[in-house]
Structure 1
Amino acid sequence: MADQDTPSRRRRRDHSPKLKRALVRQCLQPGASVASIAMAHGINANLVFKWRREHRAAEAADSSTAQASTPLLLPITLASAPLSGTSRSMAQAPASITTRTSTDSIELDFAGARLRLRGAVDQESLLGSLTALRSLA
């Protein structure tokens, strides 16, 4: 009866950080099986999955910290204000213009965007569309 009164003292194993890093490194290899690596070392696979998850979270935190401290330089281009009316010169025309008279449509590739105008297109509608597109560029 004295054996029943004594609680069992089960102690968790304390794995070294070196062992954890080594196992996580093995698990991150292409084609590696986490379950087989864990079994080979006598460790529960769920524990190895947890170490791998913690490793990836730490890497993500490190990379986001590095990105936040590094300034990001973006290219800036200055464009003149959109022209109004019909004073538009050929030098300021879109990069490529494709006109299909058989289907009454106009297709413009301009500043990385494509504008398609179908049906009867008058000059005023075309200039309004180009002005709006130029303001986005």
Structure 2
Amino acid sequence: MSSPMAMLMTYQRVEVITGSEKRRFYSAADKAGLVAEAFRPGVVASEVARRHGLNVSLLYRWRRQIEEEQASPSPEPAVNFVPVRIADAPPSFPDDKMAPLPPAGTGIIEIVLPSGHCLRVDRHVDAGALRRVLAVLERR
């Protein structure tokens, strides 16, 4: 048989868990306070985490979230709807009552070059031909 001392030495510590631990909730103020405490100069973040029963990575995550919130620009103002009133269609005007268009001008373009040459063309001039003529006149 074994002695009473031998029996005492074989026992190990057993922890009985009676239920599942609920997830803790920390308000924004709680998080900010813990982050401020943990990251003061000379303070070790892991000691603060241990003292409050937290994992130190949680403090770093909260600090990153707080920094991102402070760095992000303010949200865009909410889009508001403008009231719209649908009116009856305007009465149609007969063609003879519409105001006549002003008469078109002659459409003559006058170009005075630095050399003193003056060139007059109408509005239907070929743009390529006009470029060639201007290039020749500018070389003189």
Instruction: Please indicate the TM-score interval, normalised by the length of the shorter structure.
Output: 0.3 to 0.5
Could you tell me the TM-score, scaled by structure 1's length? 0.36
Could you tell me the TM-score, scaled by structure 2's length? 0.35
Between structure 1 and structure 2, the one with the greater Rg is 2
Higher relative CO (Cα under 8 Å, sequence separation at least 6) belongs to 1
Please identify which structure carries the higher strand content.
1
